[in-house]
Amino acid sequence: MNTILSIQSIHKTFEAGTINENHVLRGMELDVQEGDFISIIGGNGAGKSTLMNSLAGTLTVDQGDILLEGKSIKNIPAAKRAKDIARVFQDPKMGTASRLTIEENMAIAYRRGLARGLSWGVKDSERQIFKESLKELGLGLENRLKVDTQFLSGGQRQALTLMMAALVKPKLLLLDEHTAALDPKTSDMVMDLTKKIVENHQLTTLMITHNMENAIEFGNRLVMLHQGRIVVDVRGEEKKNLTVQHLMDLFHKNSGQVLSNDELILN
């Protein structure tokens, strides 16, 4: 397997030099192999969101480097990273433009990273691609291409956003607690679709989740953050055999601290 993402001793401090100084990322290191589906968990302030924002380019790291396919991206702005890094947010409304139709949203995703020409309408050839892609979701959205996304449910919008992220295969897919705002039944539906899309499109994926059961069930690898570092990294058979209690024991062993289940999954 090729290393597609290499996080090399990155640091990020907020309000440095003030009484409110907060050193969030403390030399974090992680190598991600092509095809990895990594669940990321950690307590409040562990660095999950800061890591995700640093990868997406909405934050700049203070020290260290981030390599994508062997090339540094730490100084590349978020807009330019977007052609290689797709992201699905917690809020379903953030992934789509409410007043644009399903097909118009998909057209934007389909042309991600391309220069906008004079013609920005949806072509018939593209429309057929969108229909075939939406059939994969099994939600009937392929028959509603002309409907504004504001009329979709939260689960439908999040499913659409997932498909838009995969429409032009990204080098890296970031899932930023993408089921946290959904009710349990809808969350389960979106997680099942997530697994299907990641596997069918062979996407290299990092998923922050507040749900320990989901972290254990989905993906081939699980990492736990604590105080800006990775303290647990399990994969393969070890991950398949994990239980919540085993995960808590690993955390205690590697961090020297004891946390309750509720403390560990705080957002």
Question: Considering the domain boundaries, does residue 184 fall inside one?
Answer: no
Question: Considering the domain boundaries, does residue 19 fall inside one?
Answer: yes
Q: What is the DSSP letter of 40?
A: E
Question: Considering the domain boundaries, does residue 142 fall inside one?
Answer: no
Question: Considering the domain boundaries, does residue 4 fall inside one?
Answer: yes
Q: What is the CA radius of gyration of the chain?
A: 19
Per-residue confidence (pLDDT) for residue 261, from 0 to 100: 52
Q: Which two tokens stand for residue 217?
A: 């069930």
Per-residue confidence (pLDDT) for residue 114, from 0 to 100: 65
Q: Which residues of the chain have pLDDT under 70?
A: 1, 113-120, 255-267
* Domain span including residue 53: 1-77+190-267
Q: What is the dihedral of CA 139, 140, 141, 142, to 10 degrees?
A: 130
Query: Structurally, how many domains does the chain consist of?
Result: 1
Question: Considering the domain boundaries, does residue 6 fall inside one?
Answer: yes
Q: What is the dihedral of CA 120, 126, 128, 133, to 10 degrees?
A: -110
With contact defined as beta carbons under 8 Å apart, do 104 and 119 qualify?
A: no
Question: Considering the domain boundaries, does residue 183 fall inside one?
Answer: no
With contact defined as beta carbons under 8 Å apart, do 92 and 157 qualify?
A: yes
Per-residue confidence (pLDDT) for residue 260, from 0 to 100: 54
Looking up residue 28, the CATH number of its domain turns out to be 3.40.50.300
Per-residue confidence (pLDDT) for residue 266, from 0 to 100: 39
C-alpha span between 255 and 259 (Å, rounded): 10
pTM of the model: 0.92
Question: Considering the domain boundaries, does residue 163 fall inside one?
Answer: no
Per-residue confidence (pLDDT) for residue 215, from 0 to 100: 94
Backbone angles phi, psi at 101, to 5 degrees: -75, 170
Q: Give the number of C-alpha atoms closer than 13 A to the C-alpha of residue 225, restricted to the C-beta side.
A: 32
Q: Which two tokens stand for residue 165?
A: 């992220």
Question: Considering the domain boundaries, does residue 116 fall inside one?
Answer: no
With contact defined as beta carbons under 8 Å apart, do 47 and 225 qualify?
A: yes
C-alpha span between 132 and 92 (Å, rounded): 22
